[in-house]
Structures are given as C-alpha cells and as structure tokens.
C-alpha cells in the first residue's frame, strides 16, 4: 500500500445524509470476483440521473468526496471502498462514518476524515462556488485546507500511523505469530470445531 | 469492578495487547459465503499461497447468489455461477469445509451456524456480512467484517480491533399480544437512529428480552447493525443451553458440563457499568413497520406517513422528502392504506421455523390476495425439511404462496428473486434502502405475522385486522 501523507485534489459536494453502501455499490456488482474495475458501479443508481452531482462536468477528476452525515451505513461490503477508489477518490469527508465502512476504508487506504457538520457545510459552499478549488487533506497534521478554510479532522491514531507508513495489517499481525500460537495452546478443548464434517 | 458480557468475552480473546495499538483478538468461528471471500482467497494466493491457519474453525456456505428454485441445475446467471464456483474451488484448494447447494446443511450462513450448534456463548464469531450480529443472541461477540479482514482471519485466525463501547438496551415488561421480536428491534432502531449505536456493542436486557425464544433473540440481534451498532448480544441463560444441548457441534458429557460452567460466568456483573443506556417499556410496543428508505424510518402500523414538517432539522427534512418521493407515498397517509404487490417471508432475520409457523398460523384457511405475489423462503434446507414435516408447506401452497428452496432470496437482489422497478413489498428482511430488492423497488420491513396478514388483505395489516377464519 502506498504511503498517505498529504493529498491535494478537487472535491465533489455530495449533499446527502445516510448514504448506505447499497447506494455506493449495488448488490449486482458484488457478484464480481475481481478486486478492481468497480468504478462503473459507484453510485450507479444515482448516476442514471443526469442531474446527479457526479455527472456534472465541472466536478470531473475530483479526488475528495465531501458527504453528509452517516456515510457508509448498512452492508459490510468492502466493494464500496473499492468502487470509491477505482473511481478516483482518495478521501471521504463526513461528520460521521458507519463503523464497518470506516474500518474497511482503513484497510484499503481510503482516508475517512471526520469533521463537524459546520465544516462540511462550509466546504460544500466553497466547492459549489468554485469547483476548481484545491482541497488539501493533510494526514500528518490532521488538517483539511481549502481556500481560507482550515479545519482539524479526526482519524484513529493507529490507522493514521499505518496509512502514513503504507503498512498492511496481515504483515503486522504475522510478526506476532508466536503470541497466536501461545493463545491457541490455552484454548479449552470443548470449544467447537467445524471439522470433521458430520 | 464488574464487567459487562461484551467485556468478558473480549478479555478472554486477547492474544496480544500493546499501548497505542489495537488489541489482537482470537476468532473462534469464521463463517464464509461466496460474495465477500473470492478476493480474500486470491490475497492468500498472491502472498506465496499463505494457508488458511485454522480450517477447523472455518465454515463456508452458499446463500446470497443462489437461486431458490431448480437448485440442482447449474446457476443460470453466469456471473453468479462464477462466484459460487470460485467459492467451491477456493474451499477445495484451501481445505475449508463448505455446504454447497444440494447439501442438507446448506442455507443462509446465519441460520446454518446456530442450527448446527456451532455458535455458542462466549465465542468470537465473524463473517464477511454485517448481519453476523445475529449470533450475539447466544452471548457470542459476533460482528461483520470486510473482505480484507476476511483475508486477515483466514491467514491468522485473529483480528486487530479497538474495543467497542457498551450500550444497555433494556426492554422491561411483557410484550403485548401480536408484538414480536421483529417489532421490538424496529422500534429500537427508530428510537436510537441508524447512527445511534455507532461504536457500540448493544446488550439487550430486561424481562421482555429474557422471554424471547432463541429464534426471537436472533431476529433482535440480527438487526443491531441497522442501529449503527457493530454487534448486539444477549446473555446466555437456560433458554440458550436448552437450545444448544444435543446439537451437532455442541459439547457433550464432561465437556458439556465444563462449557455450561463457563457460560454461567458470562452474564454482566451486577456492579458493571455501561457507556450508554436506553430503556423501553415493552407494554408501549405495537406492530411496527418501516415506511421509508432506511430501517430507522419506522413507525407503529397504526401511524401515518410523516410530513416533512415532522422533521427534526433541515438534514432530516430533506431525507424525509426524498424517502416519501422514492417510496411513492403521500405525506400523512395511514400506513394501513399502503397496498403491496409482493410479500417476502425469509432472510437471516426471519427465515427460521418459528417465523414460518407464525405465517402458517395466519394463512391457514385463508388465501393470498389476487393482487399479491407471496414468496416463502426457508432459511436453510433443514428448516425447509422441518416445515414440510409439520405440513407448513401445504398451508403456504394452498393459500396461493410460493414455497422455495433456502437462500437469501429477495432480501438483496443478488439472485433471481427481485422486485421490478416500482413494485412494492412487505418483507421480513432487514433493509429497505433504495433499490435494495431491485432497482426502483420499494420495501417495507415487517414481522412475519404482519407479512402474512398483509398478503391476505393486499395492504399493510396486522393479524388482528383479519376476520376470523370461518369454520365449517
């Protein structure tokens, strides 16, 4: 995974709350067995409407998504993160993220930066006034900067460290393989197993 | 200082703890299905073919993609077929046991685990599916994970996690006649909100909860995720032990005694404190349904569609307007006036034998309205077999409903069972998002009893609304 220190790009204002992962990537796309190529599925139902914000040419090429509260609710599908990344987004800003979505984003290196709703409103206004406005998301300083606006965002300390180092979880865990073996040796024998298949 | 059930189970699974890092938790049971696993197995392959660390703590089944008719024919949709084939191939290559279509143990993953007695109190259970919270009904710490975490568990049988906060949801009193576990959880979600449980494990407590059967408890815990919670748990008790005793993977003999002794230590200590508390008076509950496009947009069946003026704030007002428009409703219309063309009974929420019995009791001697198409989908092959032994299938068919094979079916439009654009359903499933059951489909979440009554009348109804069946 590439290191994430600072990202600068243009932004899209998604004026919707409670954006669930069925909207981010409908179930139809979950049948795929590949890990990439999900960009066509991103918000595919909403994108059928020509007025939908992602269809506006002045937001093309944006890499920062600025969304309403409760982003990523519902199904645990990590495909939602892949779709956002395949489409080109590196960061999502919202005042509240659903737990599973936030966790999945951290695994894939999509930064979920939490700010107050007032900051979201200010960003929406600024981006709508000037779609070419550069938005900088600084993971090192935990800051989002756009024009005159500067605001702090919340991100888990450990996720921040891991994204900045570009490290993946499995590699980190396997450094503690001995601890896992010790724990396994102490598990009660009456705990169930799935095999032999009866 | 006392600990809660969730804290006890957490503490017993810490493999490693270090300051500034998440805890590394051991996973007792990893359930797998075809949708969220292909990329995880590929990840293992690409890492110089890492093995699955504990195939004996891993179990797969086929549920989301599968058709619910002609299940022994090759799957017609080539993309679905490819995904199911990938699961079979992955399980064979990596040595993971799998219950495929045609197996007597196949079914919806969260029905299969409990019915085999694999889900037990005090365990950590994970699956690449948010409704893994279902297993919390046994006093297990059970939660959904994404595909990267599926890969992590396959490789290491652990997960790095930060502890959840705890919220007590106490429902005291006796549930009124006609109020089921489904109605309780819909009311809880309406009260807490779809983000209200975020960061929390919910523990359901109180006499109304203790009075629920294991299947009722599973329905309740299943939808914890819709309140934003990661997991929902209920303390194990005699009801739990009675359900488990004798099941295929339940311990026996001296092991059973040792297990029960441990399970008795799990309930929350009297002096433990929760980070948050919600209290609901059971006697105030009534049949509950959703009107909108998220599980929190629910109301008593006796109520009416909100008007935008009912909104808490601007964000909520926009949400209400949008939901009313998508659902094709009129502000202020009584919920009982909403007509449906489809009724779906099934899903990991309400696809077990007690749910089917509840539906059969109402359909006995009655007919599904001509305007309604009704699908009854058992949660597993074993549930199907039991329903047929009890003659429930005859009741469904005689009433004019369709009786299907086991799978996730119409819950989520990943298999042939879907709503066409503009169609409207009363469903015993767990999500009513835009397009959830098919693009343009409109979903009202209900209990099995309300689903059955609605099938008879053609509009949202409770069993109490129906005329008694004429007896000869």
Which residues does B358 contact at the CB level (< 8 Å), separation at least 6? B180, B447, B448, B449, B452
Farthest-apart Cα atoms in chain B, separation: 74
Q: What's the pLDDT score for residue B471? A: 65
Q: Taking a contact as any Cβ pair under 8 Å apart, which residues of chain A between 132 and 151 contact chain B? A: none
Which residues in chain B touch residue A180, judged by CB atoms under 8 angstroms apart? Answer: 15, 24, 26, 53, 156-158
Question: B282 — phi, psi (to 5°)?
Answer: -55, -35
Q: How far is A104 from chain B (nearest CA, A)?
A: 6
**pLDDT for the residue A197:** 74
Label residue B294 left, alpha or beta by phi (over 0 means left) and psi (-120 to 50 means alpha).
beta
Distance between B46 CA and the closest CA of chain A, angstroms: 13
Residue length, chain B? 472
Dmax over Cα atoms in chain A, in whole Å?
66
Interface contact flag, A31 B82, Cβ < 8 Å: yes
Mutate to test the interface with A, among B16, B98, B99, B148 (most CBs of A within 10 A): B148
Q: Give yes or no for B97 touching A (CB within 8 A).
A: yes
- CA separation for the pair B147, B129 (Å, rounded): 9
Which chain A residue lies closest to B258 (C-alpha atoms)?
Answer: A190
Whole-number pLDDT of residue A198: 63
What is the ipTM for the molecules in this complex?
0.88
Interface residue A47 vs chain B (CB under 8 A): no
Name beta bridge partners: B402: B375
CA distance B447 to B182: 5
Task: Kindly determine whether residue A81 and residue B82, on different chains, have CB atoms separated by under 8 Å.
Answer: no
Q: What is the pLDDT of residues A79-111, one digit of tens each?
A: 999 999 999 999 999 999 999 999 999 999 999
Pinpoint the alpha helices (H) of B207-352: 207-210, 214-222, 238-244, 253-263, 314-327
Q: What is the pLDDT of residues A51-73, one digit of tens each?
A: 999 999 999 999 999 999 999 99
- Kindly report the nearest CA distance between residue B128 and chain A, in angstroms: 7
B134 touching chain A per CB within 8 A: no
| pLDDT at site B472 | 55
The segments of chain B whose pLDDT lies below 70 read 471-472
> What would the two tokens of residue B456 be?
């008879």
Average pLDDT over chain A reads 95
The two structure tokens encoding residue A84 = 């956002």
Beta bridge partners of B394: none
Joined tokens for residue B353: 């034998």
User: pLDDT tens for residues A28-52?
Assistant: 999 999 999 999 999 999 999 999 9
Decide if B129 touches A, using CB distance below 8 A: yes
**Alpha carbons B410 and B419: distance in angstroms, whole number:** 8
Closest CA to B200 of B119, B274, B270: B274
Q: What is the pLDDT of residues A132-158, one digit of tens each?
A: 999 999 999 999 999 999 999 999 999
Using the beta-carbon criterion (under 8 Å), do B47 and A45 form an inter-chain contact? Answer: no
pLDDT digits (tens, 9 = 90+) for A150-185: 999 999 999 999 999 998 899 899 999 999 999 999
Q: How far is CA B144 from CA A125, B187, B408, in A?
A: 36, 22, 16
DSSP string, B234-275: ----HHHHHHHTT-TTS--HHHHHHHHHHHTT-SPPTT---S
Asked if B20 lies within 8 A of A157 by C-beta distance, the reply is yes
Facing A76 at nearest CB: one of B29, B128, B228? B128
Whole-angstrom Cα distance, residue B103 to residue B86?
17
**Which chain A positions have a beta carbon within 8 Å of B226's beta carbon?**
74
Q: Determine, for residues B439 and A169 on separate chains, whether the beta-carbon distance falls below 8 Å.
A: no
């Amino acid at each position: 995974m590439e290191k994430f220190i600072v990202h600068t790009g243009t932004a899209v204002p998604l004026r919707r709350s409670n954006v669930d992962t069925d909207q981010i990537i409908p179930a139809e796309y979950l049948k795929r067995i590949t890990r990439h190529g999900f960009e066509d599925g991103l918000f595919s139902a909403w994108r059928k409407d020509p007025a939908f914000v992602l269809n506006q040419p002045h937001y093309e090429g944006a890499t920062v998504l600025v969304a309403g509260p409760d982003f990523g609710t519902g199904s645990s599908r990590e495909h939602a993160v892949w779709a956002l990344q395949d489409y080109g987004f590196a960061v999502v800003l919202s005042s509240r993220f659903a737990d599973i979505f936030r966790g999945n984003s951290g695994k894939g290196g999509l930064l979920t930066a939490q700010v107050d709703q007032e900051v979201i409103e200010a960003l929406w206004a600024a981006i709508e006034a000037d779609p070419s406005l550069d938005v900088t998301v600084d993971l090192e300083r935990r800051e989002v900067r756009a024009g005159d606006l500067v605001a702090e965002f919340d991100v888990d300390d450990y996720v921040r460290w891991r994204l900045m180092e570009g490290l993946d979880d499995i590699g980190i865990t396997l450094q503690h393989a001995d601890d896992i073996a010790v724990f396994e040796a102490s598990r009660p024998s009456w705990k169930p197993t799935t095999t032999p298949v009866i | 200082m006392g600990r809660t059930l969730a804290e006890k189970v957490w503490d017993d699974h810490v493999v490693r703890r270090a300051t500034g890092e998440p805890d590394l938790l051991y996973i007792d049971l990893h359930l797998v299905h075809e949708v969220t696993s292909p990329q995880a197995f590929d990840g293992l392959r690409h890492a110089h073919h890492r093995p699955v660390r504990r195939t004996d703590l891993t179990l797969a089944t086929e549920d989301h993609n599968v058709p619910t008719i002609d299940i022994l024919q090759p799957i017609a949709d080539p993309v679905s077929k490819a995904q199911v084939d990938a699961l079979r191939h992955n399980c064979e290559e990596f040595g993971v046991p799998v219950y495929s279509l045609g197996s007597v143990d196949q079914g919806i993953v969260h029905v299969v685990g409990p019915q085999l007695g694999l889900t037990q109190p005090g365990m950590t259970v994970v699956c690449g599916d948010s409704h893994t919270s279902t297993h919390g009904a046994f006093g297990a710490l059970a939660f959904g994970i994404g595909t990267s975490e599926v890969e992590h568990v396959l490789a290491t049988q652990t997960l790095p996690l930060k502890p959840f906060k705890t919220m007590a949801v106490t429902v005291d009193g006796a549930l009124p006649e006609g109020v089921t576990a489904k109605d309780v959880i819909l009311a809880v979600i309406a009260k807490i909100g779809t983000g209200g449980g975020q960061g929390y494990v919910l523990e359901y407590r109180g006499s109304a909860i203790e009075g629920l059967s294991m299947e009722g408890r599973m329905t309740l815990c299943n939808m914890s995720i819709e309140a934003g919670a990661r997991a929902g748990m209920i303390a194990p008790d005699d009801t739990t032990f009675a359900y488990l005793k004798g099941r295929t993977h339940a311990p026996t003999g001296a092991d059973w005694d040792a297990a029960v002794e441990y399970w008795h230590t799990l309930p929350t200590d009297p002096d433990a404190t929760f980070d948050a508390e919600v209290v609901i008076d059971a006697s105030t509950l009534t049949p509950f349904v959703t009107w909108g496009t998220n599980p929190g947009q629910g109301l008593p069946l006796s109520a009416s569609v909100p008007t935008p003026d009912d909104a808490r704030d601007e964000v909520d007002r926009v949400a209400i307007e949008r939901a009313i428009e998508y659902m094709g409703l009129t502000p202020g219309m009584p919920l009982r006036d909403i007509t449906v063309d489809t009724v779906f009974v099934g899903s990991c929420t309400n696809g077990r034998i007690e749910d089917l019995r509840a539906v059969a009791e109402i359909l006995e001697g009655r007919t599904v309205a001509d305007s309604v198409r009704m699908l009854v989908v058992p949660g597993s092959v074993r549930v199907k077999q039991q329903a047929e032994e009890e003659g429930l299938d005859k009741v469904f068919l005689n009433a004019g409903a369709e009786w299907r094979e086991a799978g996730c079916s119409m819950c989520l439009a990943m298999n042939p069972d879907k709503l066409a654009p503009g169609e409207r359903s009363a469903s015993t499933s767990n999500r009513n998002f835009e397009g959830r059951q098919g693009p343009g489909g409109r979903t009202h979440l209900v209990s099995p009893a309300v689903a059955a009554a609605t099938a008879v009348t053609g509009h949202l109804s409770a069993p109490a609304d129906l005329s008694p069946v004429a007896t000869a």
